[in-house]
Amino acid sequence: MARTIWKGAISFGLVHVPIVVHPATRPHRLDFDWIDRRDDAPVGYQRINKRTGKVIASEDIVKGYEYEKGEYVYMNDEDFKRANVAATQTVEIQGFVDAAEVPIYYYDTPYYLAPDRRGEKGYALLREVLRQAGRLGLARVVLHTRQYLCALLPQGDALMLITLRYADEILSADELDLPGGKAAAPPARERDMAMRLVDDMTGPWDPEAYRDDYREDLLEAIGRKIKAGKTHALTEPGEKPPRESAKVIDLMSLLKQSIEQRGSARKPPAPKAAAKKRTAAKKAPARKSGAAARRKAA
């Protein structure tokens, strides 16, 4: 059963739809433990009292807000809930926008919403209205003691909630030294050639075609060490590859080579060459086994 993160309701206008929030992603990060290479002992992440240097139990830790230097207000989970009960129990839709209007870099973490008891009818209604309108709901929700701006949109038969970054979390590119103006405009021939390559590489979106190659390579390297019995061996660092010096790049040449390579990779064998191969295969005598050859020779 999917793990439950949060329970509450979607609120838009006077409508309340009871929902349950579930994770929509499954990270495939490889977890590595810290090990003391001298005795193979695990190195743990310990909670240390900075004054005494001693490890403390988790039940003795509270969240504290420093309102003045050295002066704290303690907060527990109940305090966070009571600060705004409605905000901690409701996905409150503020309005609706066309889905295409929200830039992709605002999106953060997705979650699935499932209807809770007696919420099926309202859930299906909101999902189908959003689908038909081509819009998403902009809402606020409190998750893990933080309020998020989020997008609410249909995804198949599910409603998906995706947390959004706030505008002040997006850094400006104004301070970057970026090419611009007429002087930086690419020549028409290069632009046309680049567009031809882009068109040639364009296809339908297929997420299954993309894999985490680096993770798979790491697992293979780990497997090789296990097979070789090197379960405690460290790979010594090798020489760093030399850095290429700055050089003038012939874009037209690189673009042409890219297009030619893609064309040759997809190009089927010539009909005449294929026919010759089939003819040669028919004329070639069948290979006999070693035993049959010896009997014939005898």
Q: Is residue 12 part of a domain?
A: yes
- For residues 244-271, average pLDDT: 69
Higher pLDDT, 290 or 185: 185
Instruction: Decide: 141 and 149 in contact? Cβ < 8 Å.
Output: no
pLDDT at residue number 238: 65
Q: Is residue 55 part of a domain?
A: no
Highest mean pLDDT among 75-84, 101-110, 164-173: 101-110
Q: Which domain holds residue 158?
A: 6-25+81-167
Q: Is residue 152 part of a domain?
A: yes
Highest mean pLDDT among 47-51, 55-59, 194-198: 194-198
Residue-wise pLDDT for 55-84, tens only, equals 888 778 888 878 778 788 878 777 777 766
> Is the predicted pLDDT of residue 132 greater than 60, yes or no?
yes
Total domain count, the chain: 1
Percent of the chain at pLDDT > 90 equals: 18
Q: Is residue 136 part of a domain?
A: yes
> Is the predicted pLDDT of residue 139 greater than 80, yes or no?
yes
pLDDT at residue number 130: 94
pLDDT band at 283 (very low <50, low <70, confident <90, very high): very low
pLDDT at residue number 137: 94
**Residue 152: exposure state from Cβ atoms within 10 A (0-12, 13-18, ≥19):** buried
pLDDT band at 1 (very low <50, low <70, confident <90, very high): low
Q: Is residue 20 part of a domain?
A: yes
Residue-wise pLDDT for 88-98, tens only, equals 678 889 999 99
Q: Is residue 132 part of a domain?
A: yes
pLDDT at residue number 23: 80
Q: The domain that contains 162 carries what CATH number?
A: 2.40.290.10
> Is the predicted pLDDT of residue 249 greater than 80, yes or no?
no
Q: Is residue 119 part of a domain?
A: yes
> Is the predicted pLDDT of residue 168 greater than 70, yes or no?
yes
- For residues 223-231, average pLDDT: 78
Mean pLDDT of the chain: 77
Which stretch of 32-46, 94-108, 147-161 has the lowest confidence by average pLDDT?
32-46
Higher pLDDT, 105 or 279: 105
